[in-house]
């Protein structure tokens, strides 16, 4: 399930992010790479403890928590603090999969990465290359979105960032543990919730048909949610 959420950040918010990130202290992204990722990762990123990263990351977390499509699609229980990265001068991240378990020592927390998200902070015409290629059962999908847009996809997917040959590609990335670990079950729940919302338009709030669908939705969620 690959879901694009348009305008998670509006134009003014993107400008605020870009202004603050222009003076940020970028470090070599290999400092946080796993042993196998060292060979395929070439980018810059902000340290997780950087004040700018924390401030902007909290703004993103607030946006996600209040976005109905994200909440419906992810059923997120825990969200990893967003990481900011920059690709330029041929920077890339070869084909890889995200770690299944991610440890946050300062919070004494380990999360299972069910979903990954990339929030684009530069416009697609500001750089060449830099496509996020996500391998799905029906083939690889190339994603290069407008600034402020986000793509949500299963962390189990193989994916890569192609080399940036002109300009800079700046994004925020994050991962989340869902209340429903199974991708297909989560996808069906999302489709059902979206259908309920569409069918509810123009109907009474106590419409019995809608109530029955909501009843089925929550019983399925109850069955599939983590114990």
Taking alpha carbons only, the member of 160, 143, 161 closest to residue 152 is: 143
pLDDT range class, residue 35, cuts 50, 70, 90? low
Q: What is the mean pLDDT of residues 130-150?
A: 94
Q: Which of 19-33, 102-116, 173-187 has the lowest mean pLDDT?
A: 19-33
pLDDT tens digit string along 36-81? Answer: 555 689 999 999 999 999 999 999 999 999 999 999 999 999 999 9
Residue 38 pLDDT: 55
Give the separation between CA 66 and CA 69, rounded to whole angstroms: 9
CATH number of 183-224: 4.10.860
The burial class, CB within 10 Å (0-12 / 13-18 / 19+), for 67 is middle
Between residues 137 and 197, which one has the greater pLDDT?
Answer: 197
Query: Residue 90: which pLDDT band, with cuts at 50, 70 and 90?
Result: very high
Sheet with 159-161: list strands edge to edge. 41-42, 92-96, 159-161, 132-136, 139-143
Question: Residues 84-92: what's their mean pLDDT?
Answer: 97
Phi, psi of 108 (to 5 degrees): 50, 50
Cross-strand pairs, 176: 79, 115
Q: DSSP E strands: which ranges in 10-168?
A: 26-28, 41-42, 44-46, 76-79, 83-87, 92-96, 101-104, 109-112, 115-120, 127-129, 132-136, 139-143, 150-154, 159-161, 164-167
- Enter the tokens of residue 117: 């998200």
Residues of the chain with CATH 4.10.860: 183-224
pLDDT of the residue at 33: 55
Q: Which residues carry a binding-site annotation?
A: 96, 98, 159, 169
pLDDT value at 127 more than 70: yes
Q: What is the pLDDT of residue 139?
A: 86
Give the pLDDT score at 40. 86
Q: Which residues are annotated as a binding site for 2-oxoglutarate?
A: 169
Q: What is the pLDDT of residue 212?
A: 97
pLDDT digits (tens, 9 = 90+) for 95-109: 999 999 999 998 899
Q: Which residues are annotated as a binding site for Fe cation?
A: 96, 98, 159
Q: Which helix (H) or strand (E) holds 3?
A: strand 3-5
Contact 94, 41 (CB under 8 A): yes
CATH 2.60.120.620: which residues of the chain?
3-178
| Domain 3-178 falls under CATH 3.40.50.300 | no
Confidence bin at 30 (pLDDT 50/70/90): confident
Structure tokens at 159: 């994916």
């Amino acid at each position: 399930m690959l879901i694009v959420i348009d305008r998670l950040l509006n134009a003014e918010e993107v400008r605020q992010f870009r202004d603050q990130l222009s003076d940020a202290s970028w470090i070599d992204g290999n400092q946080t790479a796993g042993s196998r990722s060292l060979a395929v990762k070439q980018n810059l990123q902000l340290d997780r403890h950087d004040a700018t990263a924390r401030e902007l990351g909290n703004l993103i977390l607030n946006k996600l928590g209040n976005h109905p499509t994200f909440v419906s699609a992810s059923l997120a229980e825990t969200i990893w603090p967003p990481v900011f990265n920059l690709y330029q001068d041929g920077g890339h991240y070869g084909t890889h999969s995200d770690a299944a378990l991610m440890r946050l020592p300062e919070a004494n927390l380990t999360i299972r990465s069910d979903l990954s998200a990339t929030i684009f902070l530069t416009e697609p015409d500001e750089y060449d290359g830099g496509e996020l290629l996500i391998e799905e059962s029906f083939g690889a999908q190339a994603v290069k979105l407008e600034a402020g847009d986000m793509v949500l996809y299963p962390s189990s997917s193989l994916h890569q960032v192609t080399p940036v040959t002109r300009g800079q590609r700046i994004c925020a990335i994050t991962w989340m543990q869902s209340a429903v670990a199974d991708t297909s079950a989560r996808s069906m729940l999302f489709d059902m919730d979206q259908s309920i919302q569409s069918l509810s338009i123009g109907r009474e709030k106590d419409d019995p048909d809608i109530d029955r669908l909501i009843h089925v939705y929550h019983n399925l969620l109850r069955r599939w949610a983590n114990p």
